[in-house]
A and B are shown apart, each in its own frame.
Chain A
Amino acid sequence: MSHSTATPAVQAGQFDFLVKGEHHVANGTLLGFWLYLMSDCLIFAALFATYGVLSQNYAGGPSGADLFDLPLVALNTSFLLFSSITYGFAMLQMQQRKLKGTMIWLAITGVFGAGFLGLELYEFYHLLHQGAGPQRSAFLSAFFTLVGTHGLHVCIGIIWLVTLLFQLRKHGLTTANRRRLFCLSMFWHFLDVVWIGVFTIVYLMGSLS
């Protein structure tokens, strides 16, 4: 009885080994990428803690209230928020196996991301121009490290997004490409979550002091 049920299962298992292996790897990728994001989260935790400790150490220099341009930050925040929802639309198109729609929404996401990065670089340039660079005070060092690291992540996300657009155009919505889209989706939404912390703790609370 037990013999008759066990043998075919073993045979089937051997036969399907290569095919099923791919499936398991695909599942492992999403969990593995999530674990990467969690470790990235710890990097940001360290940077937030550093900023929290040093946020009042102006060394006689300008404070956040003197420097931050809140309407600009609000615009920046809305760019990132819009890019999150457009990426969501890209994922919905992907679920319906619509390649063109996926690519269009992905491209719009990239444009919003680039807009965010452009505004941030403009802000950095403006601060450096005013003599409020990272070497001015401990507060500004911590500020540039935290916000700069987030900006670097967005920059890498955009490079990844453009690479995926080329992959999609060449290979279509294959299993591998869908997996990559899922990973980038997690990365992109994760960056938006980190930005919530940045605009609240750095910009809004900095403008209050």
Chain B
Amino acid sequence: MSELSHNHDEHHDHHEEEGPHSSFSGYMLGFMASIFLTAIPFWLVMGDVFSSRNTTVLIILAFALVQILVHMVYFLHMNFQSEGGWTMLSLIFTVVLLFITLAGSLWVMYHMNVNMMPSMMSGGS
């Protein structure tokens, strides 16, 4: 019985590698995707590809979102299993707070500016 527990220990020692196991191909895939996802937004803005500002903004924001996901998966090794799911749960919680902070601030302050008295508008945006 004690021998069994000893074996268990050795197994632990051997498998002590904390954190996720990463691979060369994973890093390279993430890196190539990142270069692609960085270069295109810069090209869109520097080359004045679209005449409409809103189109460009929407596209580069979409590219940023995809690139953040790529970094999360290939560089930070996010998945639903690590640490019993707690990293993913805390990430989701943070993203919810992030969304509330950003959307709430922009929404409230935009309406403040729009609904301000005309005499005060000159000082605002």
Contacts and interface: CB of A to CB of B under 8 A. Distances in A.
Interface of A: 8-9, 11-12, 16, 19-20, 23, 26-27, 29-31, 34-35, 38, 41-42, 45-46, 48-50, 52-53, 56-57, 70-71, 74, 77-78, 81, 84-85, 88-89, 91-92, 95, 175, 178-179, 182, 185-186, 189-190, 192-193, 196-197, 199-201, 204-205, 207-209
Interface of B: 1-2, 5, 9, 12, 16-19, 21-24, 27-28, 30-31, 34-35, 38, 41-42, 45-46, 53, 56-57, 60-61, 63-64, 67-68, 71-72, 75-76, 83, 86-87, 90-91, 93-94, 97-98, 101-102, 104-106, 109, 124-125
B2 A49 contact: no
B45 to A, nearest CB: 5
Majority secondary structure, A binding face: helix
Contact of B87 (A31, A192, A204): A31
Contacts of B22: 88, 91-92, 95
B interface secondary structure, majority: helix
A52 B102 CA distance: 8
A208 B101 contact: no
A137 B90 CA distance: 36
A190 B68 CA distance: 10
Contact of A57 (B90, B98, B125): B125
A23 B12 contact: yes
Contact of B46 (A19, A26, A70, A85): A70
28 contacts: A8-B5, A23-B16, A26-B18, A29-B18, A35-B90, A38-B94, A49-B104, A56-B125, A70-B42, A71-B46, A74-B42, A78-B38, A81-B35, A81-B38, A85-B30, A88-B31, A89-B27, A92-B22, A178-B18, A196-B38, A200-B60, A200-B61, A201-B61, A204-B41, A205-B60, A208-B53, A208-B56, A209-B53
